[in-house]
Amino acid sequence: MGRVAVVGATAPPERLAMFRILTGLFAIGYLAVRLPVFLALRDRDAAGFEPVGVLTPLTGPLPDGAVLGLIAATLAAGIASTLGWRFAATGPAFAAGLLVLTTYRGSWGQLLHFENLMVLYVVVAALTPAADAWSLDARRRPAPRRDPTAYGWPLGLAGLILVLTYLIAGIAKLRYGGLDWMFGDTLRNHVAYSAGRLELLGGRPSPVASGLVEHVWIFTPMAVAAVVIECSAPVALLGGRIRTAWVAAAWTMHAGIFALMLVGFPYPLFLVAFAPLYRLERLAELGPALRRTGRAARPTRSESSAASPSPPA
């Protein structure tokens, strides 16, 4: 998809609009799939509530009605902002609701790291003119003329946030585990613990894990690869083939984590995490291109008639 520069680059409004659509669709889908989990927060024991982040000032769980209202308002704002309807209000409302809702869920003791990147992307989009194209707002009135950097810097910022998350993860492994994380049994122990925990709790551990745990030697190259991929994340900002190679390596790493431990990171696995690194407006060309390909593959009526054998006299 070509080379994409970092913060300060120019971009067409359609690229930022597609970023809004992709991040919004994923966040809405995530909330819909996880809706039972968020609804169940009303029945959690108050003793396990330890507010974090923006909810630190809370002294106890939210009332049930407030939780229901927050979920409904966040979903409604998410749909509206993804469609680009009154985005100046619905975009920030969706970002705020998603931040509070995921923080509230995280205040019960389980932090899902990929949620952080999802929320940050929505926040970035909410603070930008991401509805100047491909939106209901753009249909109602023409978008104002802006400097192309107004559409480029949000994507550059999102790309910077992406690579920093991977870089921090790699540095953390080396900081707390040292070289033993790569050349010791840390990764193998993680895989074995995950499989044993699932089996103990009545779940089904990964069939891949049980076979690989016995082969000690294979975990060293996998651990080294993981640290190298995470620590080399900044090269993705260079664009071009080196960016694509890094994205492929990062995606393969996440696919391997899921295969070994059944721990899924859906944001990168569905490629949304890597969206800021590409010319997203080209995704809109896929539909017409596929239709043209389909029409070209189907024979015309005259060609069908010529290819059909003549009936016997």
Across the chain, mean pLDDT equals: 85
pLDDT of res. 3: 52
Q: How far is the C-alpha of 20 from the C-alpha of 90, rounded, in Å?
A: 12
pLDDT of res. 313: 39
More confident residue, 114 or 89: 89
Q: How far is the C-alpha of 110 from the C-alpha of 35, rounded, in Å?
A: 16
Please give the C-alpha separations between residue 139 and each of 134, 135, 142, in angstroms, as whole numbers. 8, 7, 7
Across 7-11, 71-75, 139-143, 291-295, the highest mean pLDDT is recorded for 71-75
Residue 65 has pLDDT above 50, yes or no: yes
> What's the burial of 27, exposed, middle or buried (CB within 10 Å: 0-12/13-18/19+)?
buried
The per-type count for the chain, helices as H runs and strands as E runs, is: 15, 0
| Cβ contacts of 69 within 8 Å, gap of 6 or more | none
User: Mean pLDDT, to the nearest integer, of 288-299?
Assistant: 58
The Cα angle at residue 133 between residues 284 and 100, in degrees rounded to 5: 100
Please report which confidence band the pLDDT of residue 30 belongs to, taking 50, 70 and 90 as the band edges. very high
201 SS3 class:
coil
More confident residue, 299 or 277: 277
pLDDT of res. 231: 96
| Cβ contacts of 301 within 8 Å, gap of 6 or more | none
More confident residue, 222 or 162: 162
User: Mean pLDDT, to the nearest integer, of 222-230?
Assistant: 92
Q: How many other CB atoms are found less than 10 A from the CB of residue 168?
A: 14
Please give the C-alpha separations between residue 48 and each of 87, 90, 169, in angstroms, as whole numbers. 37, 32, 27
Give per-residue pLDDT as tens, 157-215.
999 999 999 999 999 988 888 887 788 777 776 777 666 666 666 666 667 766 676 66
pLDDT of res. 101: 96
User: Mean pLDDT, to the nearest integer, of 31-43?
Assistant: 93
Q: What DSSP string describes 57-106?
A: T-SSPPPHHHHHHHHHHHHHHHHHHHHTSSHHHHHHHHHHHHHHHHHHHH
Provide, rounded to the nearest whole percent, the portion of the chain with pLDDT above 90: 60
Q: What DSSP string describes 8-46?
A: T----HHHHHHHHHHHHHHHHHHHHHTHHHHHGGGGS-G
